[in-house]
Amino acid sequence: MRFFGLAVIAGVAGLVACAGGDKRADDPAAAVAVDTSTIASASLTTSPETPAVTGTMAPITGTTHEVKMIGDAKGYRFEPANITVKQGDGIKWVMVSGGPHNVAFDPAAIPPEVRPQLDANMGTDRVSELSSNMKLNPGESVSISFGKIKPGQYPYHCTPHLALGMKGIITVR
C-alpha cells in the first residue's frame, strides 16, 4: 500500500511539473519548484476548459474493443496492452483498479498528419493534446475512435504509471 501511495504522489508530481506549457527545458525561467507536502492534496481533476481541437471527431463505425486499466500486486498494466483494430473501430479503456489512470499518446511518436485527427477522436475525455483526463474510480472509462486514422502502429501509455511500464501499442489495419 505504501508503494501505491508513493506511485500516486510521483504521478501527481509529474503532472504538476509538466504543467508548465511550452517552455524550453534549458530556459531557467521554466524551472518549477514543487512543494511535495502539498502533492497529496493536489486535485487530479481537470479544468472544465479543454484545449482547442483542430480536427473533427470521427465516429466509431465498427467494433468497440475493451481494454482494462489495472494496478495491483502484479503491477500496472493495460489488458490487453497491444491490440489490433480496423480503421473505424473504437477502443474503450475501463478503469479497474490502481488509479488514477489515463490514456495518452506521445505527440513525438504520432505522425504529424495523424495527430489532429487522433486528438479530435479523443472527444470529451481529452484534457490536453493526445491525452485523456484521469479516471479515478472503477468502472469509469475512456473511449477513442480510430475512424479516419491511417493504418500503422500507435504507442500509448498511462501518464502517472509510464515509469512503471503501463504502456501498449495500437495497430490500425
Of 16-20, 54-58, 89-93, 102-106, the range with the lowest mean pLDDT is 16-20
Do 126 and 64 lie in one domain? The reply is yes
pLDDT at 4 over 50: no
Do 108 and 82 lie in one domain? The reply is yes
Do 76 and 22 lie in one domain? The reply is no
Do 39 and 120 lie in one domain? The reply is no
Do 38 and 97 lie in one domain? The reply is no
Count: domains in the chain: 2
What would the 3-class secondary structure string for the chain be?
Answer: CHHHHHHHHHHHHHHHHHHHCCCCCCCHHHCCCCCHHHHHHCCCCCCCCCCCCCCCCCCCCCCEEEEEEEEECCEEEEECCEEEECCCCEEEEEECCCCCECCECCHHHCCCCCHHHHHHHCHHHEEECCEECCECCCCCEEEEECCCCCCEEEEEECHHHHHHCCEEEEEEC
pLDDT at 130 over 70: yes
Provide the residue range defining the domain that includes 68: 55-173
Residues 14-49 have pLDDT tens digits of 444 444 444 444 443 333 333 333 333 333 333 445
pTM: 0.71
